[in-house]
Structure 1
Amino acid sequence: MAADRDAVVAIWDACGLTRPWNDPDADFLRALGHEASTVIVAERGARIVATAMTGFDGHRGWIYYLGVAPDHQGQGLARRLLDAACEWLRLRGCPKVELMLRDGNPVAGLYEHLGWEQQDVRVFARWLT
Structure 2
Amino acid sequence: MQIRAFRPDDTEAVVALWEEVGLTRPWNDPRKDIARKLEVQPELFVVAVDDDRILGTVMAGYDGHRGWMNYLAAGPDARGTGIGRALVEHVEHALEARGCPKVNLQVRSSNTAVVAFYEHLGYTVDDTVDLGKRLIPDVEPGTVEQ
TM-score, structure 1 as length reference: 0.94
Structure 1 runs of 4+ aligned residues shifted over 6 Å read none
Structure 2: gaps of 5 or more residues: 1-6, 137-146
- The match for 2:100 among 94, 103, 113 is 94
Would you say the 8 A contact 1:15–1:69 is kept in 2? yes
| Paired position in structure 2 for 1:116 | 123
Shift of residue 37, structure 1, vs aligned partner = 6.5
Matches within 5 A, 1:1-129: 1-35=7-41, 38-105=44-111, 106-129=113-136
- Kindly tell me the number of residue pairs found equivalent between the two proteins: 129
Give the secondary structure class of the aligned counterpart of 1:107: helix
Distance (Å, rounded) in 2 between the aligned partners of 1:89 and 1:37: 11
Instruction: Let me know the Cα RMSD of the aligned residues.
Output: 1.3
Q: Using the aligned pairs only, state the percent identity.
A: 44
Distance (Å, rounded) in 2 between the aligned partners of 1:96 and 1:107: 19
Query: Radius of gyration: which is bigger?
Result: 2
Structure 1: gaps of 5 or more residues: none
Return closer, same or farther for 1:57/1:92 CA change in 2, 3 Å cut-off: same
Q: Which moved more, 1:78-87 or 1:5-14?
A: 5-14
Distance (Å, rounded) in 2 between the aligned partners of 1:51 and 1:102: 18
CA deviation digits over 1:61-103, x for unaligned, max 9?
0000100011111101110000001111112221110111012
